[in-house]
Structure 1
Amino acid sequence: MSDAPAPVEVEPRRGFTAKLWYGYARVLVALRWVIVLGWTVAAVAAMVFLPPMQGSANDIEALGANDESFAAEKRSLELFGFPLLSRAAIVQRNPEGLPPLVQAEAVMRGIAINQGQYETELLGAIPVPNAEGAFPGAGETNTTVVTFLFADPTLNFFQQTQVVEDFAAEQLTDESDAYVGVTGSIPARAAQGKVLNSYVHIVEVVTVLAVLTIVALTFGSLMAPALTLLSVGAAVFVTLGVSGWAATIMDVSIPADLRPLIVALLLGVVTDYCIFYLSGLRARLREGHDRLEAARLATASVTPIVTVAGVTVAAGTASLLVAESPLFSGFGPALGLTVLTGLVVAITLVPALIAILGRAAFWPRQLVAEPPKVRPRPSLLTRAVAHRGSAFLIVLLCVAGLSAAASQARHLDLGLGFVQSLPETTSAQRAAEAAGKGFAPGIISPTEIVLEGAGVGEKADEVAQLGEALKAQPGVAGVIGPGDLPAADDVGAFTAKSGDAVRFLLILDSTPLEATAIETLGRVEVALPQLAADAGLGEVTTSVAGDTALASGIIADTANDLIRIGLVALAVNLVLLVVFLRALIAPLYLLASSVLALGAAMGLSVFFFQDYLGQDDLTFYVPFAVSVLLLSLGSDYNIFAVGHVWQEARKRPMREALLVATPESTRAITSAGLALAASFGLLALVPLRPFHELGFLLGVGILIDVFIVRALLVPSLITLVGPLSSWPSGILRRERRTRVRTARGRG
Structure 2
Amino acid sequence: MLLARWARPRRRSGTAAVGVAAVAALVVDHRRVVVGGWLVLVAAAVLWLPAPQGGGVGDLDDFAPDGNPYVATEVRSAEAFGFPLLSRTVVVQRDPDGLSPYTQAAVVLRAAAVNEQQYPWAGPVRGALPLLNVSDAFPGARESGTTGLTYLLMSPDVGLFAQTRAGERFAAQLGPDDDVVGVTGSFPARVAQDRLVDSSLRTVEVATVSAIFVIMAAGFRSLVAPLLTLGTAGVAFVLTLHVAGAVGEVMGVAVPAELRPLLLALLLGVVTDYAVFFLAGTRTGLAEGRDRVDAARRAVVDYLPVVVVAGVTVAAGTASLLAARGGVIRTFGPGMAIAVLVALAVSVTLLPAVLAMLGPAAFWPARPGPDGAAVPVRPRRARFARVREPLVGRLVRTRTAAVVAVTVTVLLGLLALPVRGLELGLSFVPSLPPADPASRAAVAAAEGFAPGILSPTVVLVEGEDLTEDVPALSDLRERIEADPGVAGVLGPGYRLLDEPRGLVLSEDGTAARYLVVLADEPLGATAVHTFERLEAAVPRWAEDAGLAGAQVSLGGDTALASLLTSSTRADLARIAVAVLLVNLLVLVLFLRATVLPLYLLGTSVLSLLAALGLTTWVFQDLLGHDGLTFYVPFAAAVLLVALGSDYNIYGVGRLWHVARDVPLRAAVVQVVPRTSRAITVAALTLAVSFGLLSLVPLRPFRELAFVMAVGILLDAVLVRVLLVPALLVLLERWNRWPLPRRPVGSDDTTGVVS
TM-score, structure 1 as length reference: 0.94
Deviations along 1:582-602, one digit per CA (max 9) or x if unpaired, are 111110010000000000000
Aligned with residue 733 of structure 1, among 729, 736, 742: 742
CA contact (8 A) 1:184 1:445 kept: yes
Counterparts of residues 159-308 of structure 1 (less than 5 Å): 159-170=162-173, 172-175=174-177, 177-308=178-309
Measured after TM superposition, the shift of residue 485 of structure 1 is: 8.2
Q: Could you tell me how far apart the structure 2 residues matched to 1:644 and 1:57 are?
A: 44
Counterpart residue number, 2:42: 43
Measured after TM superposition, the shift of residue 266 of structure 1 is: 0.8
CA contact (8 A) 2:470 2:493 kept: no
Letter in 2 for 1:244: G
Counterparts of residues 24-423 of structure 1 (less than 5 Å): 24-53=23-52, 54-64=54-64, 66=66, 67-119=68-120, 120-121=122-123, 122-170=125-173, 172-175=174-177, 177-370=178-371, 377=386, 379-423=389-433
Q: Could you tell me how far apart the structure 2 residues matched to 1:242 and 1:723 are?
A: 47
Letter in 1 for 2:297: R
Counterpart residue number, 2:4: none
Q: Could you tell me how far apart the structure 1 residues matched to 2:540 and 2:241 are?
A: 53
CA contact (8 A) 2:431 2:700 kept: yes
Counterpart residue number, 1:522: 532
Measured after TM superposition, the shift of residue 412 of structure 1 is: 0.2
Letter in 2 for 1:342: A
Aligned with residue 642 of structure 2, among 632, 637, 661: 632
Counterparts of residues 587-626 of structure 1 (less than 5 Å): 587-626=597-636
Measured after TM superposition, the shift of residue 151 of structure 1 is: 3.3
Tell me: CA distance 1:447–1:371, structure 2 relative to 1, closer, same or farther (3 Å): closer
Measured after TM superposition, the shift of residue 134 of structure 1 is: 1.2
Measured after TM superposition, the shift of residue 72 of structure 1 is: 1.1
Matched, 1:713 2:714: no
Deviations along 1:317-360, one digit per CA (max 9) or x if unpaired, are 00011111111222111111111111101111121122222222
Tell me: CA distance 1:642–1:110, structure 2 relative to 1, closer, same or farther (3 Å): same
Tell me: CA distance 1:491–1:410, structure 2 relative to 1, closer, same or farther (3 Å): same
Measured after TM superposition, the shift of residue 569 of structure 1 is: 0.5
Tell me: CA distance 1:590–1:115, structure 2 relative to 1, closer, same or farther (3 Å): same
Counterpart residue number, 2:459: 449
Question: Bigger CA drift: 374-383 or 100-109?
Answer: 374-383
Matched, 1:669 2:679: yes
Q: Could you tell me how far apart the structure 2 residues matched to 1:725 and 1:236 are?
A: 39
Letter in 2 for 1:459: D
Secondary structure in 2 matching 1:729: coil
Tell me: CA distance 1:388–1:455, structure 2 relative to 1, closer, same or farther (3 Å): same
CA contact (8 A) 1:451 1:501 kept: yes
CA contact (8 A) 1:65 1:550 kept: no
Deviations along 1:554-603, one digit per CA (max 9) or x if unpaired, are 11111111111100000000000000111111100100000000000000
Counterpart residue number, 1:5: none
Structure 2 unpaired stretches of 5+: 1-6
CA contact (8 A) 1:489 1:495 kept: no
Q: Could you tell me how far apart the structure 2 residues matched to 1:484 and 1:200 are?
A: 49
Question: Bigger CA drift: 343-352 or 485-494?
Answer: 485-494
Deviations along 1:420-450, one digit per CA (max 9) or x if unpaired, are 1000011111111111111111001001011
Measured after TM superposition, the shift of residue 486 of structure 1 is: 6.8
Secondary structure in 1 matching 2:742: helix
Counterpart residue number, 1:458: 468
Aligned with residue 476 of structure 1, among 481, 486, 495: 486
Deviations along 1:142-163, one digit per CA (max 9) or x if unpaired, are 1111110023544432221111
CA contact (8 A) 1:674 1:703 kept: yes
Secondary structure in 1 matching 2:371: coil
Q: Could you tell me how far apart the structure 2 residues matched to 1:546 and 1:690 are?
A: 22
Letter in 1 for 2:75: K
Secondary structure in 1 matching 2:141: coil
Q: Could you tell me how far apart the structure 2 residues matched to 1:572 and 1:538 are?
A: 51
CA contact (8 A) 2:651 2:675 kept: yes
Letter in 2 for 1:573: N
Counterpart residue number, 1:4: none
Q: Could you tell me how far apart the structure 2 residues matched to 1:595 and 1:520 are?
A: 32
CA contact (8 A) 1:55 1:257 kept: no
Q: Could you tell me how far apart the structure 1 residues matched to 2:487 and 2:36 are?
A: 65
Tell me: CA distance 1:400–1:220, structure 2 relative to 1, closer, same or farther (3 Å): same
Q: Could you tell me how far apart the structure 2 residues matched to 1:150 and 1:384 are?
A: 71
Letter in 2 for 1:575: L
Counterpart residue number, 2:3: none
Secondary structure in 2 matching 1:134: coil
Matched, 1:504 2:503: no
Secondary structure in 2 matching 1:636: helix
Counterpart residue number, 2:732: 722
CA contact (8 A) 1:62 1:254 kept: no
Q: Could you tell me how far apart the structure 1 residues matched to 2:390 and 2:61 are?
A: 55
Secondary structure in 1 matching 2:520: coil
Structure 1 unpaired stretches of 5+: 1-7
CA contact (8 A) 1:269 1:339 kept: yes
Q: Could you tell me how far apart the structure 1 residues matched to 2:679 and 2:461 are?
A: 60
Aligned residue pairs, count: 729
Measured after TM superposition, the shift of residue 17 of structure 1 is: 1.5
CA contact (8 A) 1:111 1:487 kept: no
Letter in 1 for 2:512: V
Measured after TM superposition, the shift of residue 57 of structure 1 is: 4.6
Q: Could you tell me how far apart the structure 1 residues matched to 2:712 and 2:648 are?
A: 13
Deviations along 1:354-379, one digit per CA (max 9) or x if unpaired, are 22222222221121132699997552
Measured after TM superposition, the shift of residue 539 of structure 1 is: 2.2
Measured after TM superposition, the shift of residue 615 of structure 1 is: 0.8
Counterpart residue number, 1:564: 574
Question: Bigger CA drift: 462-471 or 370-379?
Answer: 370-379
Q: Could you tell me how far apart the structure 1 residues matched to 2:365 and 2:56 are?
A: 46
CA contact (8 A) 1:406 1:600 kept: yes
Matched, 1:16 2:4: no
Tell me: CA distance 1:488–1:657, structure 2 relative to 1, closer, same or farther (3 Å): farther
CA contact (8 A) 1:56 1:62 kept: no
Measured after TM superposition, the shift of residue 475 of structure 1 is: 1.1
CA contact (8 A) 1:126 1:488 kept: no
Q: Could you tell me how far apart the structure 1 residues matched to 2:514 and 2:200 are?
A: 40
Measured after TM superposition, the shift of residue 13 of structure 1 is: 5.8
Secondary structure in 2 matching 1:140: coil
Tell me: CA distance 1:570–1:12, structure 2 relative to 1, closer, same or farther (3 Å): closer
Letter in 2 for 1:173: G
Secondary structure in 1 matching 2:298: helix
Tell me: CA distance 1:438–1:406, structure 2 relative to 1, closer, same or farther (3 Å): same
